[in-house]
Amino acid sequence: MPAIATLETALSALPGGYLLLDETHCVRFATARFYQLLHCEPLQCGQALPTSLLPAEMQPALLAGQAHASQQLYAGQLLDWLLTPLPDGTMLSIREDRQTFRNLIENSPDIISRYNPQLVCLYANSALGRYSPIPPALHVGLGIEERGLPAHVCDAFRHASSQVLASGKPVIFENQLNHHDKHYVFESRLFPETDEHGQVQSLLCIDRDISEEHAMRLWQADENRLLEMIANNRPMKEVMVWTCHMIESQIEGSMCSIMLLDDEGTHLHVAAGPSLPDEYKTQIDGVTIGASVGSCGTAAFTGEAVIVTNIQQHPYWADYAALASSHQLRSCWSYPINAHDGSVLGTFAIYFAHPCAPDNHSEYITLRTSHLMAIAIQQERRASQLFQLATQDALTGLYNRRHFMTLAEEACDNTLLLPKPLCMLMFDLDHFKQVNDRYGHAAGDDALRSFARILQDSLRAQDLVCRMGGEEFAALLTDTSAEDAMSAAQRICNLVAQTPVLSHGQSIPLTVSIGLARCAPGQALGDMMRQADKALYEAKNAGRNRVHIAQQP
């Protein structure tokens, strides 16, 4: 009996779990650790061993009374099992597979570390070496401030530790770190480790690198903001500049540009590039696209992405390498911005001051952004086309009557707040019906377009010019005296008479009659137009090809 008691005492002092069975496989003794490892209720002395308690692999050895060792998962825990025959029974030993556990910890991609309540490091696995200038083993024995960590990392860890020590509950927090010119974001989980009295003895910390997930969350927020800007019809320049800044915030060290293809589909023009040198943008603005014209010229020509990781060594950049080098541009990735029908609208390019290639995240967000830019550009062009249809005369490109009247009303109203002289010119092409009858309606259209060009070339950008209908035109000259308006009208009259219309090999003479009216203070637009119209008919009745000014009532 003393021998058995001595054996029980010795087994209870060992770290493993032990079970003694008699020759009939009934329980003689089991240590507390045995029950803890197997998560089972204590067995009664003399009770037959439940067959469900052991892994199936152990049963044949137990029945045969043979020694057997194996490694088995039990209740989610990896355990070492050892069956040892005794002269009067069997001993079953179990213990945690610590070496396998250590291998798992050491090869984990997460940083796993342990600290005492004073935040002195007790252990750190090898994953820490990917993010720290100090080898993991040298962290052991150092306090939080002694480990070369940034102050904000120490502050966040100290704050989380104080919460765990005070509450005895785990805490989850985020931390960020720069290492080797790369930005990392970690999700940190801090767990209390307690003794049998519930007192916290140490802290276990698991830091998971969530940089990609964090970047994707930021990207999705930025993408939603971009979609809002497009949906709210923000100015295209604002959308493009914001988009460049958005990508630059996502891809460290990047400088973005957006170039648009002209209507002829032959030249690229810089639409946005807030971080690129102004001189460089000036030099590449208007570049002709082609099969080997840098990254953007080639991407626009082929409709395919062009990734140049080293500008100085790539044949596409032979003619532009010196220019790029003078502005410290070393690599350029260019992606075509394609319309829904596959045609190229422009290019989205990303430059770097060092040779590099895109990773999966960079390529994904750049392709997504190029697609969103295509939507924005096409939407803006459709809106522009609709505006033109609503406001412009289709034949001449001048304002139509309706839009002209709206803008002219606003100009007249503004004179009440800020008095400035206004003058109205009314035009009528002389004997225009004869032009149509003699030369055909196509020639008549050419005559109308020719006269519209003369008006645009002869008047200022701030003047309002429209085709009222048929061969009748009007112009509101802002901030213009009657003398200056008369001079402009006479110049137009003379120029029309001196510029025959060329149409299908024919030279067609053309003249115009013009009526001029000054806007009296507070005068309504309609009254001024009627005065100009009356002066126009006076010019026609006087022999045409001349200017008449309306007399003030």
Residues with catalytic annotation?
Answer: 471
Phi-psi region of 543 (alpha: psi -120 to 50; beta: other; left: phi over 0): left
Determine the straight-line distance between the first and last CA of the chain, rounded to whole angstroms. Answer: 137
Nearest-Å Rg of the Cα atoms of the chain is 43
CA distances in angstroms from 125 to 57, 107, 110, 390, listed in the order given: 34, 8, 9, 70
Q: Helix or strand or coil: residue 258? A: strand
Q: Cα–Cα distance between 384 and 80 in angstroms, integer?
A: 76
- Phi–psi pair at 116, nearest 5 degrees: -85, 175
| 24 burial type by CB count under 10 A (0-12 exposed, 13-18 middle, 19+ buried) | exposed
Buried b (16+ CB within 10 A) or exposed e, 479-511: ebebeebbebbeebbeebeeeebebeeeebebe
State the greatest distance between any 2 C-alpha atoms of the chain, in Å, as a whole number: 144
Cβ–Cβ < 8 Å for 68, 80: no
Cβ–Cβ < 8 Å for 206, 105: no
Residue 393 DSSP label: -
- CA nearest to 256, candidates 270, 286, 230, 276: 276
Q: Helix or strand or coil: residue 226? A: helix
Q: Helix or strand or coil: residue 250? A: helix
Phi-psi region of 253 (alpha: psi -120 to 50; beta: other; left: phi over 0): left
Q: Helix or strand or coil: residue 15? A: coil
Q: Cα–Cα distance between 69 and 30 in angstroms, integer?
A: 19
Q: Helix or strand or coil: residue 200? A: strand
Cβ–Cβ < 8 Å for 368, 223: yes
| 259 burial type by CB count under 10 A (0-12 exposed, 13-18 middle, 19+ buried) | buried
Q: Cα–Cα distance between 418 and 54 in angstroms, integer?
A: 98
Cβ–Cβ < 8 Å for 238, 246: no
Cβ–Cβ < 8 Å for 338, 349: no
Cβ–Cβ < 8 Å for 29, 90: no
Cβ–Cβ < 8 Å for 412, 529: no
